[in-house]
Chain A
Amino acid sequence: MKSIHLKQFLLASLVIQVFSISCSDQLEIDLPEHPSIGVINSILSTDVPVSVTLTCSRPYPSNADTSSAISNAEVKIYKDGVYMEDLTFQRYHVGNKVYRDYLSHDNLVPEIGHQYNVKVIAQGFPEMAAETTIPEPVPIISVDTLTDQIQFGSQSTEAWEFNIRFQDPPAKGNYYRLLIDRAAYNEDLGVGPMGLIHVRVGFISNDLNLVYFERARDSFYFLNMDNDIEDALKPDVFLSDETFNGQEYLLKLYVPKYLFLDIAFPPVPGTKFDMRKLYFKLYSVNEEFYSYASSYFAQRYKVNDIFSEPIQVRSNIKNGSGIFTGSSVSVDSSIAVPVRYSPLLK
């Protein structure tokens, strides 16, 4: 009899516990009206004319996922404090993608070591301003290529190993960005014109100095040995010379070979080698761009982490947000494909 009573008690408790299961509801938030924020995005580079993308922020959460370009603004460019020109708003296509930027009609190309300012006057926004200096480029000393077998979790994959060397200048506070491009035949992508285009190549690196975009994960992490190689691929990395100031730096990275086995990129007679060439672009960038990128990457990575505070993306725009900065590039290339490529794979 006693045991029956105990079971009844336990069952009653079960009901109560189930009853107390937590729930979630949509929250009606009455946010005070706030004006949209002007956003300037521009990376001045020594190999392209000045262009500025000007947009405004969208309320969040929002269903609009299209950018909101500001088309009727005055965008003034100054070089070393001297007015140069008003940029012109233009809408143009690359493939089937539409760009809306303010472009230099005088083909003003930034020069190394000079300071550039932007001032933006747009209706409905306070006057926005920013300044930057074009840093000195840092040449790539060499790119050495090796074939290697690399291990990720329980998987192993074949890759090319690239050793990129460059000499960091003695002054502190140098920042870098590395991209790898290659030519690809744009047949199956369905975007843009047919023929050869440049595409970004993702790579793998265990270099602890690198700052990069990492896919956001849930707050509660679970044990998983099998790291997804796709997750490990980094298309765009930044690094600071904090730990190697004034020294020659060796950056080791891997490009998986399977990226080149796609039938979308068959060799074209006479262009086979160009298509399989990797272009290593080492950009000298300013601290403001490094801060913007590292805070942005961190924000994206932590977007689902309920335990950490949201991260503010750093900006150097006065009365607005975004980034206006300068960079200068050093390029080297390496032929990567012929090692294993076989037309039979098509």
Chain B
Amino acid sequence: MMKISSIIIGLFLFGISLYSQNFTLSGFVEDSQTGERLIGAYIYDSLTYNSSQTNTYGFFSIICKAGQVDLICRNLGYSKIHLRLSLSADTNILVRLSPLVYSLSEVLINNNRNILENPGISTVILPVTTIKGIPLVLGEADIIKSLQYMPGVQAGTEGTTGFYVRGGGPDQNLILLDGVPVYNADHLFGFISIFNPDAIKNVIFITGGFPARYGGRLSSVLDIQMKEGNYKKFHGEAGLGIASSKIYLEGPLIKDKSSFLVSARRSWIDIFTKTFFKEKDLPSYYFYDVTGKLNFKLSDRNILYFSIYTGKDNITGIKTESSITNESIRDEIKQDQYSGWGNITTSLRWNYSIKNNLFLNTSLNYSRYYYYDYKSFERTLTNLISDFKITNYYKSDFSSGLEDIGIKSDFDYHPAMNHHLKFGLSFFSHTISPYARIYSVNPGTDTTFNTKTVVSQLTMEPSLYFEDEMQFNKTSINSGIRVSSFLVNGQLYFGVEPRLIATYAIKNNLSDKVAYTRMTQYLLLLSSSRITFPADLWVSATDSVKPQVSNQMAAGVSWNCNSDLFEISIEGYFKSMSELIEYKDGSSFLNSGYWQNQVTKGGSGRAYGLELLLKKNSGKINGWISYTLAKSERKFDEINSGNWFPYKYDRRHDLNLFLDYKFGKMIDMGITWEYTSGSMYTLVTDVYDSYLGTGPLYDVQYFENRNNYRLPAFHHLDFCLSFNRKKKSSERIWSLNIYNVYNRKNVFFLYYDTYSTESDGEKIILKKFTLFPIIPSLSYSIKF
């Protein structure tokens, strides 16, 4: 690791030495119609081929020679713009790009596009228009589920938003919403993610070559940027779907100076059940989320943003009251049970262009995830003759969660031509509360037993990073280092994480890429290996549970062919992970007690695979095919006799297809097909007599290895047809979705059951539980 660090430091010093005096041309690139700042817009000087890309906040800086500059700026879905300038001093400009009048999917061919413009290795930029075109269960467009069609990403349980990247666990994905970590992205038990696509501007998904600015998770980064809101005019959208209804509004507060955005969704399953079912005491469920953002352009160089997200899922279970009266006794029983989970994230962000070549983003962040579970039972017996009463009750109020407060500053600095430095620091406090229970029992006597158990831990996570991006001739190198630390219970951990991402343009349209990344993770999700649930506990490294560490090597080739009509990439990777934790045999979130007693520590993991992506970027038919060949294994001293065993989501083959076809301007059809090898499952293969009892009830169940059986292949075909109708002031969209068109009965979980026949008597059989048969759904939305 020392060698790698030395190489990275060397590369940085070499970059500094390239510095020479020139003028800096900097500014922002924005949408000419909405005033939204554009991320990832490519700017280059066609005379010198010096280039730059806008950062997450739409800022760019490019070093140009004095004199004539022929600046070209382009971005996906926008018309290219040429600007001719005569440069005699550092200059600040605002570039406005006009959206293409036709759809993204129709024409988007960029001749002479530099291969180095492609996203970095193991990086995907997913346009929101594409996300909305992917057919999904219940017809709800979803960012995370769309990512599951990308190579290297495995869906967890069918239909859910859990995702497993390159052999990693569900907690190893860093999900950022406007830079704020989100700890649970699930609505409706994970069938819908909390991110409302209407409010999203940009999605960057990284599975391998992690720049040093990202840290804290081992396997992936999902960086979601919210829209800012339209600075020019008021705009809105409303929709009604099977699972939820939603509304989205945006507009200027002060034209060109300040804007707002608000979007809200609410499920109506509870309203629906109350409307159509007369029975009282039915369990009910709802979720809602509200996303809001305010932006103020204080000056050409200062912008202030405030964004907030809040959402909640609530399930009301048994709520009954009953009373039975005999001759002299009245027996009254009351039961109440509800549980839920939710997130709150807020961010106050200040963008300041300190100099033409130095940009600062500072943000104050708050994020909270909570889970709660309340149960009560009360029974009162009344002697109607003597009026003597005896009441006994049981109440349990359980909660768990995690709360983050943090500050971070990120600097972008362009010291020289094609040389870009990023550096920053952050400080986060995490208050982790995996277990808080207030328990009250009265057995019908004068004494009530009250217990309150709260396990809460304050931890600190400061970190800093340094990233050096250089481009010379045919090579682009992003080298960096991230140093993080974690303070818990007086124990201080350090993580030194070197990063190196290099791209070499073999030809103008062909490049090869390599990356090495080391990641450290201090916060861990304690989840059952069989299924992830909102009740899974977030915990942290402690004095006895060490932080998790991964080392990943990735290499690949990227080829833009046929005038960028097609994009082909092939990548291979190897990832090793250490200090993993897992529930001990038989433990799950249903167990109570201190979590450290229920886990096995010091586990190792290894994952390797080959990923292929073939993408068609334009034309009437566009879309992609992705294929992954992968293997992922785990090893724990206390599991499987200390031997390696396949990871639950070790799926050898994973094939995904997405096609979008346009029938004119009004009808759009989307088809997806997913085929993956089945998950691994621990199947009991034998039984034998136990010494401690005889008979079937007492048989010992035997299996040689954990995860010894691969479930049947998982596949489904989904279909989406959208009808757009534009009117003067509005656009109406009807969308028909069919999930699982050929009604494949995929395995959700297995269980044993018995059935009786006259000839054979009672037989034990293995049954599969299928969650989603064919599901049609219809949704309607109106844009105004």
Contacts and interface: CB of A to CB of B under 8 A. Distances in A.
A151 interface: yes
A41 interface: yes
A318 B276 CA distance: 62
B587 A13 contact: no
Contact of A306 (B375, B379, B749, B777): B749
Contacts of B687: 57-58, 60, 62
A65 B443 contact: no
A225 B392 contact: yes
A60 B682 CA distance: 13
A72 B683 CA distance: 30
B760 interface: yes
Contacts of A14: 272, 276
Contacts of A223: 318, 335, 337, 375, 377, 394
Given A60-B701, A62-B687, A311 B589 contact: no
Identify whether the interface residues of B are mostly helix, strand, loop, or mixed: mixed
B775 A322 contact: no
A41 B689 contact: yes
B701 A221 contact: no
Contacts of B766: 26-27, 29, 61
A60 B689 contact: no
Interface string A300-319: 11110111111111000000
A109 interface: no
B219 to A, nearest CB: 21
Contacts of A225: 377, 379, 392, 394
Count class of interface residues, chain A: 35 or more
Given A22-B748, A299-B701, A307 B696 contact: no
Interface string A236-274: 100000000000000000000000000000000000000
Contact of B276 (A10, A36, A321): A10
A308 B530 contact: yes
Contacts of A300: 697-698
A312 B443 contact: no
A87 interface: no
A53 interface: yes
Interface string B31-67: 0000000000000000000000000000000000000
Interface residues of B, number: 81
B709 A31 contact: yes
A22 B770 contact: yes
B176 interface: no
A55 interface: yes
Contacts of A26: 765-768
A10 B692 CA distance: 57
B765 A308 contact: no
B624 interface: no
B240 interface: yes
A234 B672 CA distance: 56
Nearest to B706: A309
Nearest to A61: B764
Nearest to A177: B692
Contacts of A336: none
B586 A298 contact: yes
Interface string A58-76: 1111110101000000000
Given A22-B769, A25-B767, A213-B692, A301 B590 contact: no
From B272, B697, B699, residue with most partner A Cβ within 10 Å: B699
A56 B682 CA distance: 21
Q: Which 3 A-B pairs have the closest CB atoms?
A: A57-B686, A61-B764, A308-B588
16 contacts: A10-B275, A16-B776, A24-B751, A29-B766, A39-B689, A41-B689, A53-B691, A67-B689, A222-B318, A300-B698, A305-B586, A307-B531, A308-B585, A312-B640, A313-B700, A323-B691
Interface of A: 9-14, 16-17, 19-20, 22-27, 29, 31, 34, 36-37, 39, 41, 43, 53, 55-63, 65, 67, 151, 154, 213, 219, 221-223, 225, 236, 292-293, 295-296, 298-303, 305-313, 321-323
